[in-house]
């Protein structure tokens, strides 16, 4: 039924709006992580601000949000490919613009990993391997993230996919590039922070 599909998308957005980075920073240090480091509510800024343990936890929970949203769409989508795809997109929108936190969220890459790996595992895996290698050699997480979302639809095309999943990957790619627009400028100018650095001006 259409009502269940709509309900799945709405719940996915609300699930995506749970910002584990914000909640964990508040619980551990009593701070709003969006006022520290790069100002981003995500795993990388959690690493800079809270350390490795909390960062890994945030990363895993954000990935699980993406996985859960897609599976919710599968369960309530009555066999439609579009419903789980839209649920995945809704999770990412929720993460980026969370209703619980005044629509100031993260950049959605961890949730994107969960969504893409659940919807189209092997294209996401191939793109992910290249993205991880780029991070290892350059230490730029933002660059690896952009490579991941850019290459996934390319690998999808190689599989012959031209339907909902391809469009989903392209929409997610646009979201990622939009959210990383300041990082792209910094990469071009050579001012982007590398993984493990304490860089990033405090956002007030």
Supply the DSSP symbol for 100.
G
User: For the chain, what are the domain ranges?
Assistant: 2-189
**Which residue's structure tokens are 């895996």?**
125
pTM (2 decimals)? 0.91
Cα separation of the two ends of the chain: 46
pLDDT one-digit tens code per residue, 108-161:
999 999 999 999 999 999 999 999 999 999 999 999 999 999 999 999 999 988
H helices present in 77-180, as ranges: 82-96, 109-119, 121-138, 141-158, 164-179
CB-based contact 17:99 (threshold 8 Å): yes
pLDDT digit of tens for each residue in the chain (204 aa)?
789 999 999 999 999 999 999 999 999 999 999 999 888 899 999 998 999 999 999 999 999 999 999 999 999 998 999 999 999 999 999 999 999 999 999 999 999 999 999 999 999 999 999 999 999 999 999 999 999 999 999 999 999 888 999 999 999 999 999 999 999 999 999 999 888 765 544 433
* The token pair that represents 174 in the structure block: 């646009």
Cβ neighbours of residue 182 under 8 Å, at least 6 residues apart? none
Residue of 194, 71, 54 whose CA lies nearest to 138: 194
Alpha carbons 12 and 185: distance in angstroms, whole number: 31
């Amino acid at each position: 039924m259409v009502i269940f599909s709509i309900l799945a998308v709405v719940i996915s957005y609300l699930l995506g709006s749970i910002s584990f980075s914000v909640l964990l920073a508040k619980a551990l240090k009593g701070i709003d992580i969006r006022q520290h480091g790069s100002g981003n509510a995500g795993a990388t800024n959690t690493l800079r601000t809270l350390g490795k343990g909390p960062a890994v936890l945030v990363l895993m929970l954000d990935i699980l949000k993406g996985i859960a949203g897609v599976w919710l769409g599968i369960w309530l989508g009555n066999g439609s490919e579009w419903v789980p795809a839209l649920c995945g997109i809704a999770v990412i929108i929720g993460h980026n613009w969370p209703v619980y936190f005044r629509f100031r969220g993260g950049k959605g890459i961890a949730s994107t990993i969960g969504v893409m790996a659940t919807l189209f595992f092997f294209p996401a895996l191939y793109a992910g391997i290249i993205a991880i290698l780029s991070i290892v050699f350059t230490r730029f997480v933002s660059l690896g993230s952009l490579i991941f979302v850019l290459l996934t639809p390319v690998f999808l095309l190689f599989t012959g996919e031209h339907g909902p999943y391809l469009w989903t990957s392209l929409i997610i790619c646009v979201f990622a590039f939009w959210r990383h627009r300041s990082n792209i400028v910094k990469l071009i100018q050579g001012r982007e922070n590398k993984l493990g650095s304490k860089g990033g001006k405090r956002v007030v």
